[in-house]
Amino acid sequence: MSRRQVHIGPRRKAAVLVVGVLAAATTLAACGSSSSTTTTSQQNASASSAAPKPATSFSTRSVSGFGSVVVDGNGRTVYILTSGGRTNLPCTDASGCTKVWPDLPLPDGVTAAKAGTGIQTSLLGTKKLSDGETYPTYNGWLMYEYAADSGPGQANGQGIQSFGGTWYVLSPSGNPITTTSGAASGGGSGY
The pTM of the full predicted model, rounded to 2 decimals, is 0.68
What is the per-residue pLDDT for 17? 44
Strands of the chain, DSSP E: 57-63, 67-71, 79-83, 86-87, 114-115, 124-128, 134-138, 141-142, 161-162, 165-170, 176-177
- The answer to whether 154 touches 65, Cβ cutoff 8 Å, is no
What is the per-residue pLDDT for 33? 40
Give DSSP secondary structure letters for 74-97. TS-B-EEEEETTEES----TTTTH
Q: Give the start-to-end residue ranges of the domains of the chain.
A: 1-51, 54-184
- In the chain, the percentage of residues whose pLDDT exceeds 70 is 66
Helix, coil or strand: residue 38: helix
What is the per-residue pLDDT for 90? 83
Low-confidence ranges of the chain (pLDDT < 70): 1-52, 180-191
CA–CA gap between residue 121 and residue 140 (Å, rounded): 12
pLDDT digits (tens, 9 = 90+) for 87-99: 888 899 999 999 9
What is the per-residue pLDDT for 7? 53
What is the per-residue pLDDT for 5? 52
What is the per-residue pLDDT for 9? 56
What is the per-residue pLDDT for 4? 52
Which amino acid would we find at residue 44? N
Residue 127 CB partners (closer than 8 Å, separation 6+)? 134, 135, 137, 142
What is the per-residue pLDDT for 94? 93
Nearest to 97 by CA among 13, 157, 138, 155: 157
